[in-house]
Structure 1
Amino acid sequence: MAVGEAFLSAFLQVLFDRLASRDFIDLLRYRKFDDLLEKLKITLLTVTALLNDAEEKQFHSPAVEKWLHMAKDALYDAEDILDELATETLRCKLEADSKAGPNQVWNWNLISTPCNTPSSRGIESKLKKVIDKLELIVNYKDVLGLKDNIGGCSSGLKQRLPTTSLVDETCVYGRGHDKDLIIEMLLRDAPSNKIGVVPIVGMAGIGKTTLAQIVYNDDRVKNHFHLIIWVCVSDQFDVVEVTKTILRSITLKDTDLNDLILLQVCLKENLVGKRFLLVLDDVWNKRNNDCDLLWSPLKTGAKGSKILVTTRNRDVASSMGTVPAHHLRCLSFEDCWLLFKSQAFENRNIDVYPNLEAIGSKVVEKCEGLPLAAKRLGILLRSRQEEDEWKDILNRKIWDLPDDESDVLQSLRLSYHHLPAHLKQCFAYCSIFPMDYEFDKETLVLLWMAEGFVQQPKGKKRLEEVGGEYFLELVSRSFFQESINYRSRYVMHGLIRDLSHFVSGEFCFRLGDKLKDGNQNRIFEKARHSSLL
């Protein structure tokens, strides 16, 4: 599936598969719903084309978020009607079977025409109603500025600036041990002439780039390598652009070359006999042909040359690394507080604001050791001196912060954006579990299977195995982390859980949360998944 496919794409695929399945078509043979079902199919295709754009724009547009919830509600209604239609037709078939004798050939004409039964007339009315609702939803696309987008690439994601090697180390806390471990691996003698690749892996905002920056700028590293090079790869690995960036870093000159062969020859000439460190920051793609093309000229470097890779994905780290990946953990509360304090109370005496210090401590707890969150919230509160303003930020969800002030949300959104559609719905479903819930892989997979989230496997693979692969993929992409209490259990970071709440909207809820919030009288008409844990 394409990168950035909408949450509902997998759900829609199930509807399309249902409409096209031989069993469904056979059941509806001689029925009078053909025109309506064809109209439903066309309307669903129209909605599908808008979903990718809407899913990204919902994060900064309440109107688009509302539109997306309306679309989800209508699509769930369509699924219910198809279920009802199949059930009614199957009931008629069974009635015909009972009327036919044991020695008679089954006859479709024995089935009563659905339009002659009250239940069938009700289904026809519901089908027309849901089609009208979907068409009305589609008509709002121009008002909301939604674009047809089948390819999976959305305009809703803000263009990110590339990272650089520069870092203010006075604002880095709690990474001394990690830094020493990485440097030790980089300076270690290689057992062969093969280039050593050291991966750093961790969830969005945990400080992978910052760790790479402080390693890059360490004197031990500068003295050991003849060349040190920084490249921000990001989510689109372009071997030509990466090669050009490496050349610019070495020669400090721009190049007009665009031919990969000439670029590689030039790079090879500049690397021969030199021990280099190449940092590839923010890598999203597993090692592939493009990576191998890049590797070719790099092999001419001197023995002991190293590549440092940062990535959110364990599978990427495994495919590229020549040593086990360094898994970056969240900061301790103490280090997270120091980072937050350095930003929020910059040029201010913290002792003068005892009330703000107490609120700030709760803000840091909310960050759960994520450095990016602590830093950005600290910067956000730096210009605010009133206690009510700090309480307001404390009580807000991460997506309720001003869009231009929250690159935490932008970073988390990017991880979600890169999930395939079938994993998006599995992730959103996890919002029904309470904070700090410890997930059991087998139990969660069975729940996904029961909800119909796990696609039918090809070949001899069991459905449970496919669901297990889904779970491990979410672990690999840092949506789940191993529990420190039970090695066989997994937890979800609080901000990742908040993200799951946002993308699931009003279709998933946990009754305990609603009761705690004082909303016990609210009717959850649109809820499709719930829990009481």
Structure 2
Amino acid sequence: MVTRIEKIIARRQDIANHKDILGLEKAIKNNHMSGRIESTSLVQKSDVFVGRDQEREATFYGGKFYFRTFELKNVLRHDAKTRHLSYALCSNDSISKIVEVCDSLKHARTLLKINLGTYHGFSKGIIDPCHLLEQMKCLRVLSFKSLSREEDLLHDSIGELIHLRYLDLSNTFVVALPESLCDLYNLQTLKLSNCKNLKKLPSNMQNLVNLRHLDIEDTELEEMPKGMGKLKELQTLTCYIVGNHEENGAGDLGELVNLGGSFRIEKIENVVNSNEAWKARMVDKKYISSLCLKWSAGEDSEMVDSQMEKDVLAKLEPHKDLKELTITGYRGTMFPDWVGKSWYHKMTVLELSGCGNCWVLPSLGQLPSLESLLISNLDMVKRIGGEFYKDDGTDHHQETPFRSLKTLDISRMPCWEEWESFECDDDDAPFPQLKVLMIKKCPKLRGDLPTFLPSLKALWIFGCKQLGCYLPRAPIIRKLRIFGKQEARMRDIALSTLEQVSVNGEQQVEYVFNAMTHTQPTSLTWLEISNCSSAISFPGDSLPPSLQHLSIKNCMNVKFPMQHQQHHSLQSLEIDNSCNSLTSFALLAFPNLKYLTIQRRENLTSLEVSQSFPQLSISGCSKLENIRLPVSLSQLIINKCPLLEERIQKKYPYIWPTISHIPYIYVNGKRIRNNSTS
């Protein structure tokens, strides 16, 4: 849940970032606020935002009470009544002015992001952030976000800022927080995200009774402090790490009924029994939209009580309006009944990963709104059968399985051998809305795949070397990528609709070339072929007219089309250890080429390029000795081409004049400088 303070901060930052685009001009608001200044860290909605582009400065006035600058040379112009201050330093600023301005801001309510880098010497002690705090005891909002300082930012004096509502230490090197932080009874927001060195929170966090938002994402916290359940006002808690004691166990979550947004529970292996899991009262936390349940790896699976693991997960059942669910590292052999039940009518995203003991998938096909499903590292699953689609595979009155699913990603399933077909007519086939199907690193999978996917637009198969079945019928497919040694057959793939094709191996490459012979691929813009030793050539000795990117790797007997007519669409060309019959290469047929890469071409002796493009990379061409390039080429990279390297180093005639004006020439990683460009 985003607080009002955070919304205002985001709005100010956005305007500051776009001041040049907005063309802000310097101005002063003539009418000033009068009367008593309210004790608040929020700027009034009537703020006027003005700035001056010439000095890269933006000064924002809310009456006279809000001041912001991008440079410090004019920082002392601020009004004595300023209550809200924020600025970012440039490398040429005078850091000593920080102390000057803060000494005269004893009544300031807001001190936002001081963006100091190590080049200012801040980490060497030129300025102590604690000195700033001693001068500004009325602060409500304080941000040291992304402050480059390796030692601790705060000491016990932080506890004297009794009015503080908002504290942001995100992206800092903070190692520990002082215990006095727990004296800030008015603190509502504490942001510690991406504090990679932070391993422990203060022991008396339970005293922050007004805390509403605690962000500890991407920290190294080992466990939660005791008594977190007393923070009953908490609305945002990104993560709860279960400890080994009753005072910081899962049961401490029971009173935090106002938690909302995204929430993760880690180290669930520390939950000793299902009763403790039940005390967490996850089913009552109706404001949580995204939930992650995570077990840590480490314990031998043979030592795990599978039934107890299942009971614990059963008692962590979330509320019925959950939208996203992730279960990772679960150590039971089967999932409890609630996982996949159709009463989760709003669930759109589900991830099951690292559940190494599970031997059967839960029934997920009847989740009515599920759009994205990720299954990975379920090491014991050998078969996906009818129970995956419906509760028992026999109730014909149930809805079409996976009727809303759009993305299905199954990866790293080392024992998975069979994907059982779901017998039905095309009109009732599962996955009617599936657009993306990815199957990766499933080395034992043989078949079958779904037979008909009417909405499929992208199919990616990688590392499934035993897969030999036919690919699904997909009438509107746009992207096809098949990598590895698998021999999946593409009988019904519609080449006429494909826009991007990446295939690997004899069978796949031959199919694509044969298909292009019979069907003109009018939409194909991206083609990558690799690892084919067959002697084949492009149909009609020409490229598809719509092709923009072509990559040929380890296809030594593929004949490159030397077109007589110009091919205007091709922009990127890569030839790697391929097209052995090609001994000279003239690119006159490709006037709009932008990127050219030629690697491991043993027989290539000459290369001629007439048109201008940004980058040319040549490597592993041992016989290449002559090149003619346009002087407008931006970058030339040459590696392991001994004949060509020697001629370039010696500025050989007929070579050097054509490349001497190229700004960046690299030979074996070293830049060649010349008088024209140095």
TM-score of the aligned structures, taking structure 1 as reference length: 0.21
Is the strand fraction higher in 1 or 2?
2
Between structure 1 and structure 2, the one with the greater Rg is 2
Is the helix fraction higher in 1 or 2?
1
TM-score of the aligned structures, taking structure 2 as reference length: 0.18
